[in-house]
Amino acid sequence: MGESDLPSGGALAARVASVAQRAKAESMIICAACEMDLADWSSEDAAQYRQEMGLEESSVERVIRAAYRLLDLITFFTATGGKELRAWTLTRGATALDAAGKVHTDMARGFIRAEVIDSATLLATGSLATAREKGLLRLEGREYVVQDGDLIHFRFSV
């Protein structure tokens, strides 16, 4: 769409959305020229401009979210010594054992338990150490179904 058609997309976007809805598909409104220009801006200025245009996030972020929904994927996190946080992609409905195998096959092979906390709780607590002190991490077994946004510390033996 053209920038002047944002955020609703105008008549053409409405027709495309109608066709997509009948096909039980998803559609989204994207102004590629606008996104290309915004890529050169500071993140703060780009976010402010998008907000003024009635857009909550960038088109790239919306396409990624749509792809995750379409492919039925979630994200879980691992942390190492408080120095590195890593995001991993996993199919929705997968277990802690599956997640351990994503990180390393040795973790799946020697899986003992998973210490789990959801990211919203972790952010509210401020740190993993504080969350652990407050007893907010749960111990889960290999059949635990990983939830989108879980931070997992795997206990395993080699």
For the chain, the structural domain boundaries read 3-70, 72-156
Q: Residue 2: which pLDDT band, with cuts at 50, 70 and 90?
A: confident
> Could you tell me if 120 and 46 are in contact, meaning their C-beta atoms sit under 8 angstroms apart?
no
What is the tens place of the pLDDT at every residue in 37-54? 999 999 999 999 999 888
Tokens, residue 92:
């929705």
Can you identify the CATH homologous superfamily of domain 72-156?
Beta-grasp domain (3.10.20.30)
> 107: buried, middle or exposed (CB in 10 Å: 19+, 13-18, 0-12)?
buried
What is the tens place of the pLDDT at every residue in 121-155? 999 999 888 999 999 999 999 999 999 999 999 99
Give the model's pLDDT for residue 56.
86
Q: Is the pLDDT of residue 115 over 90?
A: yes
Q: What are the two backbone dihedrals, phi and then psi, of residue 148, each rounded to the nearest 5 degrees?
A: -60, 125
Give the model's pLDDT for residue 44.
93
What is the tens place of the pLDDT at every residue in 54-106? 888 999 999 999 999 999 999 999 988 767 889 999 999 999 999 999 999 99
Give the model's pLDDT for residue 82.
63
Tokens, residue 33:
């020229």
pTM of the prediction?
A: 0.78
